Amino acid sequence: METASVRLGLRANWQQFALLVVVNAFVGAMVGMERAILPLLAEQEFGVASRVATLSFVASFGLTKALANLLAGRLGDRIGRRRVLLAGWLAGLPVPWLLMWAPSWAWVVAANVLLGVNQGLAWSMTVIMKIDLVGPRQRGLAMGLNEAAGYLAVSLAALATGYVAATYGLRPQPFYLGVVVSGVGLLLSALFVRETQHHADLEARQHFDASAPVPSFREVFVRTSWRDRRLFAVCQAGLVNNLNDGMAWGLFPLFFAALGYGLTQIGWLAALYPAVWGLGQLVTGALSDRIGRRPLIVGGMLLQGVSIGAMLFSDAFAWQAAAMVGLGIGTAMVYPTLLAVIGDVAHPAWRSTAVGVYRLWRDGGYVVGALLAGVLADALSIPWAIGAIAALTLLSGGVAATTLAETRPQTYKEL
């Protein structure tokens, strides 16, 4: 692409932006096909009794995705965003086939390693490419649209597979969706998605000191992880946020089944939380451009903690649905806003790497959440595990309140 033809902004790049929104919806659907049924598959088809063993698929997914995020960020800066996106889709192609025909639970865990690579590479690149396209003025809006598309697709896929499983069984029919999604996602990315690194280069020239040296990978890792208090605040909040999601993925279906809910009801609850999460981001991402990042991050973490704890006070379906709505709203407040903070603080020359480091910590939360929730559920009970993670989420909100300074650029307040 000629440099002269490169322009920043959502309006100037709406076609590529819209295409990337669609691509990320397909990325999200790959995860959604598992959310309502995989823990039940562990119990009913493979006879896995240990909660730690059941949640091993979440841990394998989270660890691989976290490392893939880190790799994706660095590769995105070095070889370009589009190539990394295509590699992510290639890793995702075998996943639904492995889930359909897995002869043992170990094969399901292995499938989730590949799913983690798919999510880490492909989702990271849709995030970074959208940040590249829109420039600094609409960063929160861009992240809201990206994450909304992904998590609405998670919700719809969870709902669809819950209905299919209730009608036809846990395997193989629910995973036919993944065959279609992975194939179409790869074709869209290969045929129509264009490289966006030129846009990052343009933003660097227009809004940053072009003479500033590019830090090493180690320097970016240290700065993002803890040296910069703002970036530390978002890394710890992101980790705890996905710790919650890992617990929700692995324990909530078992908790709901213990309350006597059927597969269809579990499918609705598994879909409701990411649906509210997804739809809410259409508002919260743009809202962070107007009122700032800090109120949404602190308030969102506190609301998540309260909503998770509320699940323990009633077994009524309406009560659990309300708790899922609250959890979805809290997550929507946090999710795009954390990414917007990274975009605010990181220089375009090393922003992709910084996003990768943040997503390493954030998706490491799946591993921590799976192990912590599994150990507590086995040692005490599932309600004890849920209560402990609710308390940890409230603590994370307090850490964000004391360490996160506002990062929304002052010059963009008029937006």
Cα separation, 377 vs 386, in Å, equals 9
CA-CA distance, 62 to 243, in Å (whole number)?
Answer: 10
Higher pLDDT, 355 or 194: 194
pLDDT, residue 216, reads 87
Over residues 302-309, mean pLDDT? 97
Q: DSSP letter for 170, please.
A: S
Distance CA 75, CA 72 (A): 5
pLDDT at 410: 65
**Residue 44 vs residues 32, 37, 47, 97, 256: alpha-carbon distances, Å:** 20, 10, 6, 20, 15
Query: pLDDT (tens digit, 9 = 90+) per residue, 12-65?
Result: 899 999 999 999 999 999 998 987 788 888 888 998 877 887 788 888 888 898
Tell me the C-alpha distance between 209 and 211, whole Å: 5
Residue with tokens 């492995």: 98
Check whether 412 has a pLDDT greater than 70: no
Nearest to 270 by CA among 387, 155, 167: 155
Is the confidence at residue 297, as pLDDT, over 90? yes
The rounded distance, in Å, linking the Cα atoms of 207 and 260 is 57
Residue 207: the pLDDT is: 65
Q: Is residue 217 over pLDDT 70?
A: yes
The alpha-helical segments, DSSP class H, found in 251-262 are: 252-258
DSSP conformation letters of 280-346: HHHHHHHHHHHH-SHHHHHHHHHHHHHHHHHGGG---HHHHHHHHHHHHHHHHHHHHHHHHHHHHHS
Residue length of the chain: 415
Q: Which residue has the higher pLDDT, 69 or 96?
A: 96
Concatenating the DSSP letter of every residue in 221-288 gives: HHIIIIISHHHHHHHHHHHHHHHHHHHHHHTHHHHHHHTT--HHHHHHHHHHHHHHHHHHHHHHHHHH
pLDDT value of residue 1: 47
Task: Give 212's pLDDT tier (boundaries 50, 70, 90).
Answer: low
Higher pLDDT, 122 or 208: 122
Establish how many alpha carbons lie within 13 A of residue 165's alpha carbon, considering only the half-sphere containing its beta carbon: 29
Mean pLDDT across the chain:
89
The residues near 398 (Cβ < 8 Å, ≥ 6 apart) are none
How many whole angstroms separate alpha carbon 205 and alpha carbon 213?
13
pLDDT band at 8 (very low <50, low <70, confident <90, very high): confident
- Report if pTM > 0.85: no
How far apart are alpha carbons 117 and 140 in whole angstroms? Answer: 26
The one-letter amino acid at 374 = G
pLDDT for residue 49: 77
Question: Which H helix or E strand runs over 89?
Answer: helix 81-92
* 112 Rama class: left (phi>0) / alpha (psi -120 to 50) / beta: alpha
* pLDDT digits 0-9 by tens, 328-375: 999 999 988 998 899 889 887 788 889 889 988 998 898 888 888 888
Per domain, the residue ranges of the chain are 9-207+215-412
Answer for the pair 339, 351: CB distance below 8 angstroms, yes or no. Answer: no
* Residue 4's pLDDT band (cuts 50, 70, 90): low
The confidence band for 211, taking pLDDT boundaries of 50, 70 and 90, is low
Q: Which CATH architecture has domain 9-207+215-412?
A: Up-down Bundle (1.20)
Above pLDDT 90, what percent of the chain?
55
